[in-house]
Amino acid sequence: MEKVETGRTRKKRNTRQKAVVYQVVLDSNDHPTAEKVYERARRELPNISLGTVYRVLKELSQEGKIKEIIVNKQSHFEGRTDFHHHFICRACGKIEDVETPLCRYTCKKVEQKGYVVEDIEYKFYGLCSKCAQKLGKE
């Protein structure tokens, strides 16, 4: 590998912070906020800063290694990166995965307008089974 120095020799460092934040997201299945990730990362790395958590989360999202979903104007993160959607309980706030097939008919309709669809996001709001039961019998 020559080092002819044509242009930049990009350096990307592998830091403990990045590894830990990534692992925390992979280990979480509850779509944690940045704050929650921070809290969990600190158990491993007590001096990590919130700013670093935010920066690393953004970076990982851009690299496509994690996914960001926004609920109530707050970012939440998850390690699942395949196509799926979410149900949000208005009572307990829980965010749960929903498996739905991509609705071809719906997409077609959008594309017919000349739009280029790059991402699709379905959100279902209501009561999760637990909360529905609880509220049902009160």
Partner DNA sequence: TATTAAATAATAACTGTTCCTTTTAAAAAA
Partner DNA sequence: TTTTTTAAAAGGAACAGTTATTATTTAATA
Provide the binding-site residues for a copy of itself, judged by CB under 8 A. Answer: 70, 73-74, 87, 89-90, 98-101, 103, 106, 109-110, 113-129, 132-133
Please choose which of Zn ion, DNA, a copy of itself, none residue 29 contacts, taking the beta carbon within 5 to 8 angstroms, the exact cut-off set by kind: none
For 128-133, which contacts have Cβ atoms below 8 Å and span 24 or more sequence positions? 128/87, 128/89, 128/91, 128/92, 128/94, 128/96, 130/92, 131/89, 131/91, 131/92
Please, what is the minimum distance in Å from the beta carbon of residue 37 to Zn ion?
22
Residues 56-115 that bind Mn ion (CB under 5 A): 78, 97
Please, what is the minimum distance in Å from the beta carbon of residue 32 to a copy of itself?
17
55 contributes a contact to DNA by CB under 7 A: yes
When binding is defined by CB under 7 A, the residue of 25, 31, 40, 52 that contacts DNA is 52
- Cβ neighbors of 85 (< 8 A, separation 6 or more) are 97, 98, 99, 100, 121, 122, 123, 124
State the Cα–Cα distance between residues 131 and 125, nearest whole angstrom: 13
| Site of interaction with Mn ion (CB under 5 A) | 78, 97
